[in-house]
Amino acid sequence: MAVKGKILIIEDDRAICSFMRRVLEANGYETLNASTGREAISMLASHCPDLAILDLGLPDMDGMEVLTDLRRWSLMPVVVVSARTDEREKVSALDAGADDYITKPFGTSELLARIRTAIRHTRTTSGNSSIARSNRFSAKGLVIDYDKYRAYINGSDANLTQNEFKLVALLGRYAGRVLTYDYLIREIWGPNKAYDNQILRVNMANIRRKIEKNPAEPQYIFTEVGVGYRMIEGD
């Protein structure tokens, strides 16, 4: 199997680390491990991995410090592992430059999906590569046509308003990745509306009514409670 990339696992918990190594190596990745923040900082610089998985609770320092240090010199994708359910922590990790996060305990397919998405988004400068080729995003019957500025669901126009389309279009460009509430609000409504989540919630409710079969159990746009929204990965 061709090596898909080198991943540095920054994690002090041996059981979780060996679980991740097993999964990643079985799926064609080469892995390295650092179990302290200090070791991580030096290995990031000396090995330049394709991606780092970063546990926030390290024995010698907060994982956020490792991230902040890395972001001074590299845009290497980082997926943060958080044991805590603290949403603010996830938001601050994303704001500090993490590409995504995963909450313990997590399963194999979730881990692999986060890694695929994070690596893909750094390899294509303008977001999703299939969009760059065709100017369309499609996933399970949802089609976003970036030229026509329309979204279709199973072939028929979803009749989204302009702002609803902008939201769906943005989530589609970063499909598979969580976009924070603040980021979405700033991108669609500008900096003055920041921290006004209500406008976003209302728009999302309308979008779901138009595209989801059952808005209470969305299959296209998922809510990451307290953090943001995530579009399903494209076909």
Residues of the shown chain interacting with Ca ion in the complex, contacts defined by CB under 5 A: 12, 55, 57
Cβ proximity to Ca ion: between 12 and 87 the closer is 12
Joined tokens for residue 183:
């980021």
CB neighbourhood size of 2 (10 A): 4
Min separation Cβ 92 and Ca ion, Å? 17
| Between 12 and 30, CB nearer to Ca ion | 12
d(CA 112, CA 148): 33
| Least Cβ distance, residue 84 to Ca ion (angstroms) | 11
Decide whether 102 or 153 has the Cβ nearer to Ca ion. 102
- How far is it between the farthest Cα atoms of the chain? 55
Residue nearest to Ca ion (CB): 57
Measure the CA–CA gap between 99 and 123, rounded to whole angstroms: 13
Which residues fall within 8 angstroms of residue 161, CB to CB, at 6 or more apart? 206
Closest to Ca ion by CB, 63 vs 172, is 63
- What's the rounded Cα separation, in Å, for the pair 113 and 120? 11
CB 35 within 8 A of CB 17: yes
- In angstroms, give the least distance from the CB of 17 to Ca ion: 9
CB of residue 35 vs Ca ion: minimum separation in angstroms?
Answer: 9
CB of 104 to Ca ion, least distance (A): 9
- Our CB check for Ca ion shows the closer of 62 and 157 to be 62
Nearer to Ca ion, 63 or 228 (CB): 63
Give the type of residue at 164: E
Check if the beta carbon of residue 103 is closer than 8 Å to that of residue 112.
no
Is residue 61 within 8 Å of 40, Cβ to Cβ? no
Instruction: Report the DSSP pairing between strands 5-10 and 51-55.
Output: parallel
Give the shortest CB-85-to-Ca ion separation in angstroms. Answer: 15
Rounded CA-CA distance 63/176 in Å is 23
